[in-house]
Structure 1
Amino acid sequence: MTKLKLKHYFGASMAAMLVLNSCSNTKFLQEGQLLYTGAEVNIKNDTLSKKEKSNLAEALEDQLRPKPNSSFLGLRPQLYIYNITKEPKKDKGLRHWLKYRIGEKPVLLGDVDRKFNEDIIVNYSENKGFFNARATSDTISKNKKAKVIYTLTPGARYLISNVNFPVDSTVINSEIQSIKSESLLKAGNPFDLDVIKAERERIDEHLKNRGFYYFSPDNIIVQADSTVLKEPKVELFVKLKNNTPQLAKEPFTINKTIVFPDYNIDDVKVGKYGIPYATDSVEVQDDLYIVDPEKKFNSRIFNRALYFSKGDLYNRKDHNLSLNRLISLGVFKFVKNEFVVSDSLNNQFDAYYLLTPRPFQSLRLETLGKTSSANYTGGEVNLNWTHRNLFKGAEQLKASVYGAFDVQIGGPKDANNIIRVGTNAQLSIPRIVAPFRFRSSSAYVPRTNFDIGYEYLSRTQLYTLHNFTGSFGYLWKENERKEHNLKVLDVTVVAPQNVSDKYLQQIKGDPANGIMPNPSLQRVIDKQLIFGPTYTYTYTNTMLPKKNTMYYKGSVDLAGTLAGILSGADAKAGNQKELFNIPFSQYAKMEHDFRYYRKVGDKSSFASRIIAGIGYPYGNSTTIPYVKQFFVGGSNSIRAFRARTLGPGSYDPTVQNASFFFDQSGDIKLELNAEYRANLYKFLNAAVFADAGNVWLVNEDPERPGGKFSKEFVKEIAVGAGVGLRLDFNILLLRLDLAMPLRVPYFEEDDRWTFDRIDFGDRNWRRDNLILNIAIGYPF
């Protein structure tokens, strides 16, 4: 099938589906019923700009009820399912589930209360300063479908003429006066109720940080007066309500800070103010009272976590900071804070911290079944032990033992099974352990981490690798968006064993039997010593309720830099140095991962990602260690290609006349991904995606021609696309992505696009080109 025919066939199919689905939903309507397809708001106003009208109309349309039946690409599949499913006889079973859980009852024009929506439009407009707004409505119907057209005549928008903050002699008024210049209410701006609410919140936040613990935004009133002006303007007066409690007008200071680190409501007596009171002795540390009869915790952790001291003026910033730091220690299940007035004459209260610890030790067994796009199927077992208070200072020790196996089933070539057995231990100390002082004002406790691990990896009939890892470094967060991870020393030692003759034969080659030499395989089994600092910076605002969010992760890896400089190593000149009889690696590597998420509607979004990385060997190395190189392909990368079978550059891995596939790697990586995601039903999501990218080499490799990065790299970009289903059960997201290659970089340069080869009816084509990825979680 030619490209043109395929395009016409696809377009005709989509058009037929749209028409069929459109007609099939309306044929289920009864006589006189009209399917409601939505509403439109028109603005009649000569003083507003086109953009202002558009923004107002969009905001008003969002307020209207009910919403029409949900749609996907112009179709209404949930409504169709409801219509074609017969009425169930019982309130359970498959039919009931399909009709009332998966399906969606039709929204009819008769369900729309036009008068109610007109009132909503007028009320919203008045809140935005259009005090003389009027609204009317009408319907347009065709082919058993109807939509409602609302027309708003807002009139002139009222502007703020002046903002007044009345003065009196109270302490609280003085605080309000001190920040009136920063008011969100500005003369000349439109009257807007949302801005007024934000102004009240601004004043409340300032007062909370100046000791007014009992104050509330509801204690502020903003009065608008338009009677004294002939033009459409209002004068605003910002002041306290007359019924504001006296307690809310007084700033409070901290008297005592009392911590109950082993709080349990069932085991502690209740004191005068409903606060637990213990009869045991109280430990006092720098005006901090700690009630811990069993001495489960070292008092120093509370000195670091709590920011209130005796005599301090209460402020909400330190209040929240202390709570967040206690939570981030990871040792407490519940953190509760209460303030009790202890001296009403001097406006003092005591701060109580009621902390319920988590079990200090836990043991967890995990089992995992998995499959990969490289035709590997296997399983993994993990046994994890955690101690959350090792030295009574909230130090966390995590130790794990694991075993895993992967067996290749099918695929274009035979491969060897993989067995992994290993152990790992991590000690995390909730402070910076260093010869210098480090005082963090972040809500997150900084940590010093020590890691050590070992893994035995056996690729049966080929080789065995012993991997030893260790690291020491610091992890800290500036805030919820910015995180730093500095490993002062990150060490990896790889020692090979039991390298088979079969594998050595692939390295040396056997021209007589058509097997060409492949020296690059030697790097996999070389002894490796990698050490040096690494740094990772992460920024994300995806946790915020915003329409557009982003994620960025950048990393730098500098291996063997100082050792190479001091020893004068130069591998290219034959002067390669060793440590412990192992040549150490020397390279510089960095990688950037940027992701952008945009909400398209209530039930759909667009996600995109760009990954760019480069590694450069120098000094004691001519190549980057195999375990530190870049790879593409697989369920979280370019999904139309099996994991680690793509690249470098235009090199064709299928020409390897070997009895097994080995992973394709590169020193440079570029990857781009785009995905449209839509919710079909509560837990059922669909996606359409496209992936592109490749890896390249910094230096020429005679055994992998076409692998070096050049100015022609764009021509060597691989492209794939596909569709996916995601089952989101909150605690688990199961993902199924079906992808096919659209551009293959190792085909002839003028024949790399594959549109003319697509043939869904050909079994062999489907086997070689349709890649099913089954994974847990989103790809990015």
Structure 2
Amino acid sequence: MKKNSILYFLFIIMFMASCSGTKNLPEGELLYVGATIKVEGNTTPKKERKALQAEFEAIVRPKPNASILGLRPKLFIYNLAGTPKKQKGFRYWLKNKVGEAPVYYSKVDLEYNKLVLQNNAENNGYFNTKSTADSTRRGKTVKAIYTVVPKRQYLIRDVQFPQDSSVLSTAVSATKRRSLLKKDQGYNLTTIKEERIRIDARLKEKGFYYFHPDFLKIQVDSTVADHKVDLIVMVKDETPELSQTQYRINDIVVYPNYSINADSVIVAPDAIVHHNDFTIIDSENLFKPRIFDRTLYFKKDDLYNRTNHNLSLNRLVNLGTFKFVKNEFKVADTIGNYLDAYYFLTPLPKKSIRLELSAKTNSANYSGTELNLNWSNRNLLKGAELLTVSAFAGLEVQVSGVNNGFNVYRFGNEANLIWPRIVAPFRFESSSGFVPKTKATLGYEFQKRTKLYSLQTFKGSFGYLWKENERKEHQFNVTEITYASPNNVTPLYQEKIAENASLGKVIEKQLIFGPTYSYTYTNTMQKRRKNTFYYKAGVDLSGNIAGLVTGANLKKGDTVKVYNVPFSQFVKVENEFRHYLKLGGEKQLASRIIAGAGFAYGNSDEMPFIKQFFNGGTNSIRAFRARSIGPGSFDGTSTSNTFLADQSGDLKLEFSTEYRATIYDFVKGALFVDAGNIWLLKENPEKPGAKFSKDFLKEFAVGVGAGLRFDFSFLVLRTDLAFPIRKPYLPDGDRWVLDQVNFGDRSWRKENLVFNLAIGYPF
């Protein structure tokens, strides 16, 4: 036993030595393992020294090889791969993509890094800083040591803007109120550079098209007081006259059929169309002139400003009709202080067709494939209208499990027509760079569940989409219509309905019509923020006006039917809130809360099945199969495996939080906990414990798990393995099952472990 222990210990030592990366160093080379930076001196407060040290550590170069507990696995893989014979293949990929080349000490320039640290300190106002550089060697590794001794920081005493009466100086002085340079703030060269950029941006809003930040200088006077400076903002004397001029818009010329391969533009007289303030040169008459009224913000005699410049370009791109959008401004030949604006637009192919084949899987152990054929016309009515017509067919099967043999076949089609404007009897104005849109949809789907039933669904909608800005989006459907009709219900399924009446809701005829509205806010695109948010709220109304007009009241027996089908009457509200907290590096804590409620009344006794809430599955509580939780403490385990679980509810509350970190390059890892449940608003004798009560928190399902995300940039493949630690359908007091977790028990694994395979992140 002792001999085996010694051998094992020697093996660990050898493995650690190989992972350290020093074994294969060339003759005369040493491995660079990083830098230690010391910020010393009593003239600078400890808090400032600590902040400087963190900043210094980020700018020292080169960076050493990545290490974990003194081991360098990437360097180990690099050495293990050897020398590939070709610049492709697995070995080349392993060495250059997974592995990491050694960082030699010979590549470290101590003197250069010392000067970089000293300059950085002085750029932060710590003038007369001293710095030294040295190194220490340990075996075949070397560490650099930098010592920086900053002096007391200089603070801003006063900021002065130009006082002369020239047009440009007056405009520069008018920006003072929002200056980044503040009294008693530490001197900082980066802030000074940002101030020049800020002033330039403000001048661009005031017509100074040719101005540039380099035409500004900010002088520093350090003689005014002890460790104080005055900053003097000035326009350089050598600033060109062109850059000192405010410009207005003269002619606006649009080429909507421009070829980027053309050396010059030849204009036929009959190709010129004058429309309001625009001159449109369209020899093939591809577009109606009115679309440029809604996309171009500039009008003749407008003062040039960058906001309208960018909004116009954003809207042209957002139309989805043009492949390339190019814009030029030139000084007008006929009138002083004016610019001619030119827009060169290269259209995408008007018509296109695309065929897609996809594979999918879900938590109910169904796997399958789907074929989609999409045809598009990007300029249907010469107003940049987008018509898409799609047809699809798919198959889902369960290879093993109780539903083996009950395959699902689907086929259908859908047509969407999108107008790049609000089609309505009222005028709608939007000042964002996103084109408001009107969308009409018609669709049909046929679904056949082998040995069970068939279901036909017809859908239609008409509504509007618009964005206030990149963060806020609205979608309002004036009406959404859904009609579902069952066919070919088999005796087998009828028998199961007799055993479980709730299965009958799946095949009920349904007619749903009414408006829907959703609002989305997100700032997740702001990558530098530590905290980012996503919020979506939606309301779904059905049959409300019809119910009011007809006096429909199911309780009194006054049921109203349309084509012999009772229409659904309900109100449904749903909210989803997400929070993302950056923890540094590639680590993140992502959390989500979902809260929703649906209330049926008037012509309906309960919510339509397709509008109810469900829990469980790949994007919900991942430790439970799809639609297998609740409602409340109802135990649906005896029926949850029969023809898919159908446990639905009127109320939903769900919470998830997930710790995400990069394990290796494109491989991300996650640890997560999910919790929640659904409830009914009314008692259901067939589902005891399903009604919402004051004890709803005791009826939460809780699951935990871990997962891998393979981020291939164009696709994120997600795998999650989860198990429940709280089962709401167990007797009160026995619902926590954490003490029963036993990964070594095969029967426990079969009953509790749930594997999820999905595309994309859960939230």
| Alignment-derived partner of residue 653 in structure 1 | 636
Change (3 A) 1:289 1:92: closer
| Alignment-derived partner of residue 583 in structure 1 | 566
1:238 aligns with 2:233: yes
d(CA) in 1 for partners of 2:470 and 2:115? 41
| Alignment-derived partner of residue 157 in structure 1 | 153
What code does the residue aligned with 2:686 have?
Answer: E
Query: CA shift at 1:460, angstroms?
Result: 1.9
| Alignment-derived partner of residue 253 in structure 1 | 248
| Alignment-derived partner of residue 497 in structure 1 | 487
| Alignment-derived partner of residue 528 in structure 2 | 546
User: Is the contact between residue 269 and residue 277 of structure 1 (CA under 8 Å) also seen in structure 2?
Assistant: no
d(CA) in 2 for partners of 1:614 and 1:345? 64
| Alignment-derived partner of residue 13 in structure 1 | none
User: Is the contact between residue 481 and residue 512 of structure 2 (CA under 8 Å) also seen in structure 1?
Assistant: yes
Kindly provide the CA deviation profile for residues 202-257 of structure 1, in whole angstroms up to 9, marking residues without a partner as x.
Answer: 21112111111111111111110112x34001111101112211111111111110
User: Is the contact between residue 20 and residue 76 of structure 2 (CA under 8 Å) also seen in structure 1?
Assistant: no
Query: CA shift at 1:289, angstroms?
Result: 0.3
Query: CA shift at 1:148, angstroms?
Result: 5.3
Superposition map of 1:294-309 within 5 A: 294-309=284-299
User: Is the contact between residue 253 and residue 311 of structure 1 (CA under 8 Å) also seen in structure 2?
Assistant: yes
Kindly provide the CA deviation profile for residues 479-500 of structure 1, in whole angstroms up to 9, marking residues without a partner as x.
Answer: 1111000111111111122222
1:526 aligns with 2:508: yes
| Alignment-derived partner of residue 324 in structure 2 | 334
Kindly provide the CA deviation profile for residues 33-79 of structure 1, in whole angstroms up to 9, marking residues without a partner as x.
Answer: 88655445454465766654444332222222232333579975434
Kindly provide the CA deviation profile for residues 473-520 of structure 1, in whole angstroms up to 9, marking residues without a partner as x.
Answer: 1100001111000111111111122222222222223xxxxxxxx222
d(CA) in 2 for partners of 1:495 and 1:389? 35
Query: CA shift at 1:603, angstroms?
Result: 3.2
Change (3 A) 1:690 1:50: farther
| Alignment-derived partner of residue 630 in structure 1 | 613
Q: Which moved more, 1:709-718 or 1:527-536?
A: 709-718
What code does the residue aligned with 1:675 have?
Answer: E
**Matched residue SS, 2:54:** helix
Query: CA shift at 1:416, angstroms?
Result: 2.0
Superposition map of 1:366-445 within 5 A: 366-411=356-401, 414=404, 416-445=406-435
Superposition map of 1:600-619 within 5 A: 600-619=583-602
1:292 aligns with 2:282: yes
RMSD: 2.9
Superposition map of 1:464-479 within 5 A: 464-479=454-469
What is the TM-score of this pair, normalised by structure 2?
Answer: 0.91
What code does the residue aligned with 2:53 have?
Answer: A
What code does the residue aligned with 1:623 have?
Answer: E
d(CA) in 1 for partners of 2:241 and 2:737? 77
**Matched residue SS, 1:269:** coil
Q: 2:118 aligns with which of 118, 122, 139?
A: 122
What code does the residue aligned with 1:340 have?
Answer: K
> Which structure 1 residue ranges, 5 or more long, are not aligned?
1-16, 271-275, 510-517
d(CA) in 2 for partners of 1:450 and 1:353? 30
Change (3 A) 1:482 1:302: same
The count of residues paired between Structure 1 and Structure 2 equals 751
Query: CA shift at 1:156, angstroms?
Result: 1.2
**Matched residue SS, 2:603:** coil
| Alignment-derived partner of residue 514 in structure 1 | none
User: Is the contact between residue 415 and residue 661 of structure 1 (CA under 8 Å) also seen in structure 2?
Assistant: no
d(CA) in 2 for partners of 1:106 and 1:86? 13
Change (3 A) 1:298 1:88: closer
Q: Which moved more, 1:709-718 or 1:198-207?
A: 709-718
User: Is the contact between residue 378 and residue 404 of structure 1 (CA under 8 Å) also seen in structure 2?
Assistant: yes
d(CA) in 2 for partners of 1:245 and 1:724? 60
Kindly provide the CA deviation profile for residues 103-132 of structure 1, in whole angstroms up to 9, marking residues without a partner as x.
Answer: 223446665444433322222222221113
Change (3 A) 1:482 1:687: same
Q: 2:163 aligns with which of 164, 167, 172?
A: 167
Superposition map of 1:507-526 within 5 A: 507-509=497-499, 518-526=500-508
1:25 aligns with 2:15: no
Q: Which moved more, 1:337-346 or 1:454-463?
A: 337-346
**Matched residue SS, 2:257:** coil
What is the TM-score of this pair, normalised by structure 1?
Answer: 0.90
**Matched residue SS, 2:505:** helix
| Alignment-derived partner of residue 563 in structure 1 | 546
| Alignment-derived partner of residue 733 in structure 2 | 750
Change (3 A) 1:480 1:139: same
What code does the residue aligned with 1:636 have?
Answer: N
What code does the residue aligned with 2:413 have?
Answer: T
Query: CA shift at 1:267, angstroms?
Result: 4.9
Kindly provide the CA deviation profile for residues 638-666 of structure 1, in whole angstroms up to 9, marking residues without a partner as x.
Answer: 22222222222222222229853332222
Q: 2:657 aligns with which of 671, 674, 677?
A: 674
> Which structure 2 residue ranges, 5 or more long, are not aligned?
1-10
What code does the residue aligned with 2:187 have?
Answer: F
| Alignment-derived partner of residue 311 in structure 2 | 321
Q: Which moved more, 1:369-378 or 1:470-479?
A: 369-378
| Alignment-derived partner of residue 96 in structure 2 | 100
What code does the residue aligned with 1:191 have?
Answer: Y
| Alignment-derived partner of residue 4 in structure 2 | none
User: Is the contact between residue 640 and residue 740 of structure 1 (CA under 8 Å) also seen in structure 2?
Assistant: yes
Kindly provide the CA deviation profile for residues 612-633 of structure 1, in whole angstroms up to 9, marking residues without a partner as x.
Answer: 2221222222211110111222
